[in-house]
């Protein structure tokens, strides 16, 4: 072999090695980089990727993460998805998007057919789209229980606790003017009265920039309702702290997204006692299984800025990315059909004291959920019937107490405290 | 119309460049240009009304939204073919244009701007509460029929639409009608004093603007495949349209196009380096500095650059100064 030939062969070998080394799996993050919920998904994905890379990566390749901010704007979401798909050519997308943002980029997902996992959006309408058009929608997975399942279990809370334990018969809905707020309002209004025996006597819709809630609380009191059902996902701190500072003489529960974060107490200046909210699992005040606790420990060692504790979607992203990569290993890549089949079979059951505590799996395509009587293809597997042995419950109710602690107050299996009204409200 | 050969040459060059772009850039870049094309259409539409007549509209998303929602509802809820839905959407938007026009009969200046802003807020509330089964309510609609698939097809469609709109408006503004509209912006009383009906002229401007907004809105929603009230009836969307027109150069046609491309590319090119909200800060700073430095917009900067280049040539003995100066101002 001449020197020239050996040199060329050596160069070719070097090039091949370099090429193999530079081959990588690209994961795209789509979501808001300025919200606690968006950051929870991002950080959950980052930790999962670090752990996977430390174990040798996926398909023999290292995983890299590319971020695309949606700024919680639907059009920016479309641009972000296009950027990930066509500029970055990612293999898989993990989303921490809110409802209308996910709905905005869904047509792009259908076009590009990139495997995509949503960790925050719970809109059952997206699951309906999978039911109606499985072939086009099949790369899409949602590993949070759909809002319909959340509402179904929440109605149980209404019946078991609000109606039977507290004796409340009427409610006034105080709803922030957002897409999420409107949707939850519809579900609660439709289901609370017929199923829990609680009548909706008034609905107050307010703008997200509202900073004086005194007139709204006065109107709520004038309605004669027994309690307030708050639906707030954007600016929950202000309404919560004013409820406490004004000592509104009626109970308030509902959906309060800020209360899902560990910073809620500080954000309200300690004016959060008595606030309760429906929460996907896991949440603040939630007992964690060893695997989830290890994730939280890693998270808190790595990130010193808020959110100091990942929201539920951070857990979803952590386990979801690992499941997506395991599916890729099994399918030999992210080929649409084989990856989807492998992803549909992913199943992680996390136990606490020998009991099923959390489960990351998906409903089968033709599997009918017995209580609602419908299918939930590619939706997180949930359990809305006691004793919740099949999977995680679709939601829990958590409450902040006046001493700054928080606890899960419903359902009984996950309970770490009792539901109560603040000290200034007559029982 | 006072058309010269170089007008045709410049437009031909512009169309040729736009036609060749898919051969020269990546698909990711094409996607950026598609959004720039739509923003250019909206900015031209705003400029026809506000840049020319001086009636500053803060309610332009109201018109764009009517076009977008009408076409989306007709195609998704009533299975109307797109080829009928889009003209119907444009007509509906022109009706909206008349609604916006009515306050202009009595008020102007900041009062008119505030009333138009109220129109945007009004429709934002309406689409969420009135027949959410049709509008999709607060979440909007997804799965709306799209006209194209793929970056290249989307590019050609949006670019064709933008070029047709830009060329049509440019030709229109070179007529006496266009001159009269600009005159309204300078001194409405003088136009009235010269015997022209300013009411009819303004109505024409509002309807033309609404026509372009409706057309752009309808095509936009059939490009996106989704629509949400929060995305359309949003103050940021409104300001992006206005800033594109102002930063590019108001009261011109090519100015809003340049402004739209500049803003869209600036934001997207910052994305890999500043993926979060920081890029909006940089974007705002650059827009502010540019506008303070040259209130007449980028078109004026280009014109100045052309003229200074030409002046050097002139000093070297080039005798075609008049023509070159006119070329830079032609669009």
Considering A331, A349, A367, which residue would you say is the last residue of a domain? A349
Across the strands, what pairs with A205?
A175
Q: What is the pLDDT of residues A21-73, one digit of tens each?
A: 457 999 999 999 988 989 999 999 999 999 999 999 999 999 999 999 998 88
Which tokens belong to A172?
A: 């006034």
Query: Are A56 and A34 within one domain?
Result: yes
pLDDT bracket for residue B314 (50, 70, 90): low
| Count of domains observed in chain B | 1
| Count of domains observed in chain A | 2
pLDDT bracket for residue B315 (50, 70, 90): low
- Burial (0-12, 13-18, 19+ Cβ within 10 Å), B280: middle
Q: Who among A87, A123, A177 is closest to B139 (CB)?
A: A123
Least CA distance to B148: which residue of chain A? A111
Q: What angle is formed at CA B313 by the lines to CA B310 and CA B319, rounded to 5 degrees?
A: 90
Residues of A in contact with B230 (CB under 8 A): 73-74, 100, 178-179
pLDDT of residue B317: 55
Task: Answer for the pair A346, A362: CB distance below 8 angstroms, yes or no.
Answer: yes
* Assigned domain for B126 exists: yes
* Assigned domain for A311 exists: yes
Task: Answer for the pair A378, A129: CB distance below 8 angstroms, yes or no.
Answer: no
pLDDT of residue A4: 52
Shortest distance between the Cα of B274 and any Cα of chain A, in A, equals: 9
Residues of B in contact with A74 (CB under 8 A): 140, 226, 228, 230-231
Helices then strands, counting H and E runs in chain A, come out as 14, 16
Query: Are A192 and A226 within one domain?
Result: yes
- Segment B18-27 shows an average pLDDT of 95
* Assigned domain for A373 exists: no
DSSP 8-class letter at A108: H
Contact assignment for B128 to A182 by CB distance below 8 Å? yes
Query: Are A237 and A315 within one domain?
Result: no
pLDDT of residue A15: 46
User: How far is B238 from B190, CA to CA, in rounded Å?
Assistant: 31
B231 touches chain A (CB under 8 A): yes
Query: Are A210 and A121 within one domain?
Result: no
pLDDT bracket for residue B318 (50, 70, 90): low
- Burial (0-12, 13-18, 19+ Cβ within 10 Å), A274: buried
Residues of B in contact with A107 (CB under 8 A): 142-144, 146, 224-226
Angstrom distances, CA of residue B105 to CA of B39, B206, B288: 28, 12, 33
pLDDT of residue A348: 97
pLDDT bracket for residue B331 (50, 70, 90): low
Asked if the model's pLDDT at residue B186 lies above 50, the reply is yes
Q: Who among A67, A71, A182 is closest to B137 (CB)?
A: A182
CATH number of the domain where residue A54 is located: 3.40.50.2300
Contact assignment for A69 to B271 by CB distance below 8 Å? yes
Asked if the model's pLDDT at residue B320 lies above 70, the reply is no
* Assigned domain for B265 exists: no
- Segment B242-261 shows an average pLDDT of 93
pLDDT of residue A345: 97
Q: Who among A34, A88, A179 is closest to B230 (CB)?
A: A179
Which tokens belong to B15?
A: 């169309």
- Residue A388 preceded by cis peptide, ω within 30: no
Residue B206 Rama label (left phi>0; alpha psi -120 to 50; beta): alpha
Neighbours of A2 (CB within 10 A): 7
Least CA distance to A126: which residue of chain B? B142
Q: Which residues lie closer than 8 Å to B329 by C-beta, 6 or more apart?
A: B303
Count contacts between A and B (CB, < 8 Å): 111
Residue B89 Rama label (left phi>0; alpha psi -120 to 50; beta): alpha
Query: Are A122 and A247 within one domain?
Result: no
* Assigned domain for B169 exists: yes
pLDDT bracket for residue B275 (50, 70, 90): confident
Across the strands, what pairs with A279?
A396
Query: Are A171 and A190 within one domain?
Result: yes
B28 touches chain A (CB under 8 A): yes
Q: What is the pLDDT of residues B154-178, one digit of tens each?
A: 999 999 999 999 999 999 999 999 9
Shortest distance between the Cα of A80 and any Cα of chain B, in A, equals: 9
Contact assignment for A104 to B226 by CB distance below 8 Å? yes
Query: Are A68 and A114 within one domain?
Result: yes
Range of the domain at B64: 27-235
pLDDT of residue B283: 84
Q: Which residues of chain A, if any, have pLDDT below 50?
A: 1-3, 9, 12-21
* Assigned domain for B280 exists: no
Q: What is the pLDDT of residues A62-112, one digit of tens each?
A: 999 999 999 888 999 999 999 999 999 999 999 999 888 999 999 999 999
Backbone angles phi, psi at A415, to 5 degrees: -65, 135
* Assigned domain for A269 exists: yes
pLDDT bracket for residue B16 (50, 70, 90): very high
Residues of B in contact with A125 (CB under 8 A): 139
* Assigned domain for B243 exists: no
pLDDT of residue B125: 79
Name the interface residues of A facing B (CB cutoff 8 Å): 33-34, 67-69, 71, 73-75, 78-79, 82-83, 86-88, 99-100, 103-108, 110-111, 123, 125, 129, 177-183
Asked if the model's pLDDT at residue B319 lies above 60, the reply is no
Length in residues, chain B: 331
Asked if the model's pLDDT at residue B37 lies above 60, the reply is yes
User: How far is B12 from B6, CA to CA, in rounded Å?
Assistant: 9
The gap between the terminal CA atoms of chain A, to the nearest Å, is: 94
Residues of B in contact with A33 (CB under 8 A): 275-277
Query: Are A240 and A256 within one domain?
Result: yes
pLDDT of residue A18: 44
Task: Answer for the pair B215, B41: CB distance below 8 angstroms, yes or no.
Answer: yes
* Assigned domain for B125 exists: yes
* Least reliable range by pLDDT among A313-317, A415-419, B125-129, B286-290: B125-129
- Tell me the ipTM for this assembly: 0.86
* Assigned domain for A378 exists: no
Asked if the model's pLDDT at residue B121 lies above 50, the reply is yes
User: How far is A106 from A78, CA to CA, in rounded Å?
Assistant: 8
Query: Are A140 and A191 within one domain?
Result: no
Q: What is the pLDDT of residues A388-423, one digit of tens each?
A: 999 999 999 999 999 999 999 999 999 999 999 999
Query: Are A276 and A293 within one domain?
Result: no
User: How far is B275 from A218, CA to CA, in rounded Å?
Assistant: 43
Which tokens belong to B37?
A: 């094309």
Contact assignment for B228 to A123 by CB distance below 8 Å? no
Q: Who among A108, A129, A183 is closest to B138 (CB)?
A: A183
Contact assignment for B277 to A183 by CB distance below 8 Å? no
pLDDT of residue A309: 93
User: How far is A330 from A338, CA to CA, in rounded Å?
Assistant: 9
Asked if the model's pLDDT at residue B327 lies above 50, the reply is no
* Assigned domain for B39 exists: yes
Asked if the model's pLDDT at residue B105 lies above 90, the reply is no
Query: Are A132 and A74 within one domain?
Result: yes
Range of the domain at A260: 148-284+395-414
Query: Are A406 and A335 within one domain?
Result: no
Residues of A in contact with B226 (CB under 8 A): 74, 78, 103-107
């Amino acid at each position: 072999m001449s020197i020239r030939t050996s040199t060329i062969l050596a160069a070719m070998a070097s090039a091949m090695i370099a090429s193999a080394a530079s081959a990588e799996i690209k994961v795209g993050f789509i979501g808001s980089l300025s919200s606690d919920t968006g950051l929870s998904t991002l950080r959950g994905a980052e930790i999962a990727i670090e752990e996977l890379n430390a174990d040798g990566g996926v398909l023999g390749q290292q995983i890299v993460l590319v971020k695309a901010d949606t700024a919680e704007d639907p059009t920016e979401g479309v641009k972000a998805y296009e950027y990930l798909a066509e500029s970055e050519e990612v293999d898989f997308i993990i989303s921490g998007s809110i409802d209308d943002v996910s709905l905005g980029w869904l047509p792009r997902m259908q076009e590009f057919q990139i495997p995509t996992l949503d960790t925050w959006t719970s809109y059952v309408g997206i699951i309906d789209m999978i039911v109606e058009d499985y072939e086009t929608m099949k790369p899409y997975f949602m590993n949070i229980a759909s809002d319909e399942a959340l509402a179904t279990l929440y109605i149980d809370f209404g019946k078991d606790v609000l109606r039977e334990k507290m004796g409340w018969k009427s409610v006034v809905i105080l709803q922030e003017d957002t897409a999420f707020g409107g949707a939850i309002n519809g579900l609660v209004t439709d289901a609370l009265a017929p199923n829990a025996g609680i009548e909706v006597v008034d609905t107050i819709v307010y703008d997200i920039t509202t900073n004086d809630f005194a007139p709204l609380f006065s109107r709520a009191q004038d309605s004669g309702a027994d309690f307030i059902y708050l639906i707030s996902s954007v600016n929950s701190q202000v309404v919560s702290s004013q409820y406490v500072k004004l000592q509104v003489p009626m109970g308030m529960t509902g959906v309060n997204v800020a209360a899902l974060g560990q910073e809620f107490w500080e954000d309200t200046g300690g004016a959060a006692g008595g606030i309760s909210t429906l929460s996907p699992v896991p949440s603040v005040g939630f007992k964690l299984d060893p695997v989830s606790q290890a994730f939280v420990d890693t998270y808190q060692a790595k990130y010193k800025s808020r959110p100091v504790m990942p929201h539920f979607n951070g857990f979803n992203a952590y386990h979801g990315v690992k499941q997506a990569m395991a599916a890729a290993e099994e399918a030999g890549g992210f080929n649409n059909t084989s990856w989807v089949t492998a992803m549909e079979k992913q199943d992680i059951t996390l136990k606490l004291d020998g009991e099923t505590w959390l489960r990351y799996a998906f409903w089968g395509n033709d599997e009918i959920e017995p209580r609602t009587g419908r299918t939930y293809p590619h939706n997180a597997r949930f359990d809305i019937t006691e004793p919740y042995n099949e999977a995680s419950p679709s939601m829990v109710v958590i409450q902040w107490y006046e001493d700054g602690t928080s606890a899960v107050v419903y359902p009984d299996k996950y309970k770490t405290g009792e539901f109560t009204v603040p000290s200034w409200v007559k029982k | 119309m006072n058309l010269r050969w170089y007008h045709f040459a410049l437009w031909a060059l512009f169309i040729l460049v736009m036609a060749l772009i898919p051969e020269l850039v990546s698909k990711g870049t094409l996607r950026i240009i598609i959004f720039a094309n739509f923003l250019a259409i909206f900015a031209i539409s705003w400029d026809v009304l506000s840049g020319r007549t001086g009636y500053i509209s803060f309610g332009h998303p109201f018109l764009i939204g009517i076009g977008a929602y009408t076409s989306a509802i007709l195609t998704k809820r009533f299975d109307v073919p797109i080829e009928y839905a889009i003209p119907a959407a444009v007509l509906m938007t022109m009706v909206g244009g008349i609604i916006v026009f009515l306050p202009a009969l009595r008020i102007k200046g900041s009062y008119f701007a505030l009333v138009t802003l109220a129109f945007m807020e009004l429709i934002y509330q309406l689409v969420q509460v009135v027949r959410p089964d049709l509008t999709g309510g607060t979440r909007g609609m997804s799965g709306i029929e799209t006209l194209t698939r793929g970056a290249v097809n989307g590019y050609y469609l949006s670019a064709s639409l933008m070029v047709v709109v830009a060329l049509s408006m440019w030709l229109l503004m070179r007529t006496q009608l266009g001159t009269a509209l600009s005159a309204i912006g300078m001194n409405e009383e003088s136009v009235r004093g010269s015997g022209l009906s300013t009411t009819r002229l303004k109505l024409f401007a509002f309807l033309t603007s609404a026509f372009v907004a409706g057309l752009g809105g309808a095509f936009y929603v059939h490009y996106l495949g989704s629509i949400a009230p929060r995305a359309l009836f949003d103050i940021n969307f409104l300001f992006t349209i206005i800033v594109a027109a102002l930063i590019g150069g108001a009261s011109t046609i090519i100015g809003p196009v340049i402004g739209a491309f500049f803003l869209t590319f600036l934001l997207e090119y910052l994305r890999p380096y500043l993926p979060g909200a920081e890029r909006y800060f940089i974007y705002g700073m650059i827009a502010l500095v540019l506008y303070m430095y040259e209130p007449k917009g980028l078109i004026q900067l280009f014109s100045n650059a052309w003229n200074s280049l030409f002046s050097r040539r002139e000093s070297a003995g080039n005798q075609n100064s008049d023509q070159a100066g006119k070329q830079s101002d032609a669009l």
